[in-house]
Amino acid sequence: MPTTHPDAPGAGISADCTPPRLRADAKANLERILHSARAVFGAQGLDATLADVARHAGVGVGTVYRRFASKDELIQALFDTRCAEIESLATISLEAPDAWAGLVHYLEEISLRMSDNRGFGDLLMDSRFESDAFSKARASITRSTAALVNRAKEQGTLRSDFEINDVPLLMQTIKMAQNFGGDEAPQAYRRVLGFMIDGLCSSRSAPRELPVPALSTDQLDHVLHRCRSASDGGC
């Protein structure tokens, strides 16, 4: 078999002939796109477009399409990490000696992540995103959640008539409360979650202390004004 002499022209040159500066620029563009996608989808939800992401990143939309063939592909790249975080959260919650405390911690942390990133809430709840990758991620989260629910029911701390299919109903309600509160009352959803958790407990000697106070009259007026002014007629 012929061999190349170490001193022959081209010996030792990498098969990747892309100049280092261009490779560095491409990497910087990718990082800028991912950073902007997190910000844009987090603030606007998954209805934001790749053009919105490109504008935020300061690159042409063609640059985004060269790295990601579709919006779903970009979203998948972003949320693989977040879904792994949820799996880790479920594992930690399952290890809690008190199943009820583990379940409450899990629901509170998922709600917090939905509050911090609207796109994550959309991904969990929106049936538009039904690729195999998205479906597998949601199915994995559902299995972990079911394990938490069943464990709390077995310990007798979660009401016996609560089912795993009730969880999306709770999460959708939390998502609506987060949209309702908006920037004027970003913590308001925590009261709703507190009421829900109180109702899930199989028995209690007194109501659970709510984590945040009720909206002030001024806050409520601002929220309602925004809702009335919204172009779609709602929050």
The DSSP 8-state label assigned to residue 160 in this structure reads: T
Report which of 115, 103, 96, 226 is spatially closest to residue 159, judged by C-alpha positions. 103
Report which of 81, 87, 126, 131 is spatially closest to residue 109, judged by C-alpha positions. 87
How far apart CA 140 and CA 71 sit, in angstroms, is: 22
pLDDT of residue 130: 67
Give the contacts of 204 (CB within 8 A, at least 6 positions apart).
198
**Domain coordinates of the chain in residue numbers?**
20-69, 71-229
How far apart CA 114 and CA 92 sit, in angstroms, is: 19
What is the CATH architecture assignment of 71-229? Answer: Orthogonal Bundle (1.10)
186: tokens are 């970003």
Residue 25 confidence class, pLDDT cut points 50, 70, 90: confident
- Give the model confidence (pLDDT) of 36-79 as tens digits: 998 998 888 888 999 999 999 999 999 999 999 999 889 888 87
Does the pLDDT of residue 22 top 90, yes or no? no
Does the pLDDT of residue 208 top 60, yes or no? yes
How far apart CA 207 and CA 156 sit, in angstroms, is: 18
pTM of the predicted structure, to 2 decimals: 0.77
pLDDT over 70, % of the chain: 86
- Give the model confidence (pLDDT) of 86-130 as tens digits: 889 999 999 999 999 999 999 999 999 999 888 888 877 766 666
Does the pLDDT of residue 210 top 90, yes or no? yes
Residue 201 β-bridge partners: 158
How far apart CA 210 and CA 199 sit, in angstroms, is: 13
One fold for both 20-69 and 71-229?
Answer: no
Report which of 219, 124, 228 is spatially closest to residue 181, judged by C-alpha positions. 219
Which residue would you say has higher pLDDT here, 1 or 218? 218
Environment class of 20 (CB within 10 Å of its CB; exposed 0-12, middle 13-18, buried 19+): exposed
Task: Tell me which CATH code domain 20-69 carries.
Answer: 1.10.10
Q: Tell me the one-letter amino acid at 201.
A: C
106: tokens are 């899990």
pLDDT of residue 117: 85
How does the average pLDDT of the chain come out, rounded? Answer: 85
